Amino acid sequence: MSAVTVELEHKSFHSEHGEVQVLRPIQLQIHPGEFVTIIGPSGCGKSTLLKILAGLDTEYRGSVWIDGQKVVRPGVQQGFVFQEHRLFPWMTVEQNIAANLSLRDPQIRAKVDQLTELVRLKGFERAYPKRLSGGMSQRVAIARALLRDPKVLLLDEPFGALDPFTRAHLQTALLEVWMRKKITMILVTHDVDEAVVLANRIVIMTPKPAAIQAVIPVDLPYPRQRVDGAFQEIRNQILRALSDQGVWTAAE
């Protein structure tokens, strides 16, 4: 379980129209073992924020610490799950989970077997990604990140491309993983329900350049029922905050 401290001063991109500010100053303290979801309008810069946490983007002013250690480059400590599964198509499920680690190592072998069990992929260990559904592929991607025992798992709209049923199923699966492994999780989403189902705390971002608009704690027991009154209350709270931005439309 690890704490994440974010102290961001400035982040901008260079385009042909000159410098475009993407992120305003952001301060955020994430507690060990906490599940935080970040929600905001499309293109607000929340994915950029996650890439900064991962060490994939280092062109910014400010710093990110994990357990007091500054993040300067990507690595297995900051596990990352992308919106697309990004599996290696030439590797089978178990080879993808192991990737650069050797399956012949009995320790790795045992952990891979454990993880395929955890993400419910038993029987598909030898299948190539082309045979997997979107949900299965994403579960492989999660297992791949978990094998490295990350201090924090960063998820960038991991279920955004899935149908509602698969999405709900994977949310449950992810919660199960989180409760068993007690890993700090930060998940970016634009799905309000998803944010409430998963999080201990929900961070609402403003439109670009993004800053934290509000942080909403969710003190509901897991598993959470969407029809529950308290659930609806928090859901409405988020929707109100987002509609204050003037970007929330009925279509979303």
Return residues touching other proteins (CB under 8 A): 54, 56, 73-76, 78-80, 82, 84, 86, 88-91, 99-100, 128-130, 144, 148
Strand partners for 52: none
Least distance CB 152 / other proteins (angstroms): 12
* Least Cβ distance, residue 172 to other proteins (angstroms): 25
Tokens of 249: 């439309």
Q: What is the DSSP string of 123-137?
A: T-TT--GGGS-HHHH
Q: Provide the minimum distance between the beta carbon of 164 and other proteins in the complex, in angstroms, as a whole number.
A: 25
Please state the closest distance from residue 100 (CB atom) to other proteins, in A.
4
Q: Which is nearer to other proteins, 139 or 144 (CB)?
A: 144
Smallest gap from residue 44 Cβ to other proteins (A): 21
Q: Which of 195, 191, 194, 193 has the alpha carbon at shortest distance from 215?
A: 195
Nearer to other proteins, 13 or 88 (CB): 88
- In this complex, which beta carbon is closest to other proteins, that of residue 127 or of residue 175? 127
Give residues with Cβ within 8 angstroms of 56, minimum separation 6.
Answer: 74, 80
Tell me whether the omega of the peptide bond preceding residue 106 falls within 30 degrees of 0, making it cis.
no
Which structure tokens are listed for 155?
A: 């998820």
Nearer to other proteins, 124 or 231 (CB): 124
Instruction: Give the Cα separation of 146 and 168 in Å (integer).
Output: 20
Q: Using the 8-state DSSP alphabet, how is residue 87 labeled?
A: -
